[in-house]
């Protein structure tokens, strides 16, 4: 039996107070210190059932390896709680610039026919 499967026998129910407490403890004691060593950080925005919504900050902003970092966080949390979880990034925050807002591109030229040369 796999470690995750055997741990799920005593795992807290997703969404329960015990589940939230275990996730919070793992983030505070294991995950956050590792990110802070590289000048990054993580904030838990909310927990809904087995989905943990997080924000990466500091050096994690703009890092090309942030998706790999999120995968590692997800794996560590699954091992720690003994159940499948999904880590969902909510948004990226730069400590100096505030939240990033997706750029909006005007669609005025979409569907227009190209000009024909005279």
pLDDT tens figures, 97-115: 555 555 455 555 555 555 5
Q: What residue ranges define each of the domains in the chain, with the CATH number in brackets?
A: 3-94 (3.30.300.130)
Dist CA 68 CA 55 (whole Å): 14
Contact 35, 42 (CB under 8 A): yes
Q: State pTM to two decimals.
A: 0.69
Q: Using an 8 Å Cβ cutoff, are 18 and 82 in contact?
A: no
Pick the residue with more confidence: 16 or 5? 16
Residues above pLDDT 90, as percent of the chain? 59
């Amino acid at each position: 039996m796999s470690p995750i499967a055997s741990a799920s026998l005593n795992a807290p129910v997703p969404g329960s107070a015990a589940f939230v407490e275990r996730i919070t403890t793992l983030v505070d004691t294991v995950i956050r210190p590792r990110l802070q060593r590289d000048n990054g950080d993580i904030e838990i925005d909310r927990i809904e059932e087995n989905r943990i919504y997080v924000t990466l900050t500091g050096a994690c902003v703009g890092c090309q390896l942030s998706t790999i970092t999120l995968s590692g966080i997800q794996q560590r949390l699954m091992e720690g709680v003994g159940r499948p979880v999904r880590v969902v990034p909510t948004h990226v925050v730069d400590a100096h610039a505030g939240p990033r807002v997706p750029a909006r591109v005007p669609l005025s030229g979409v569907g227009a026919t190209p000009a024909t040369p005279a």
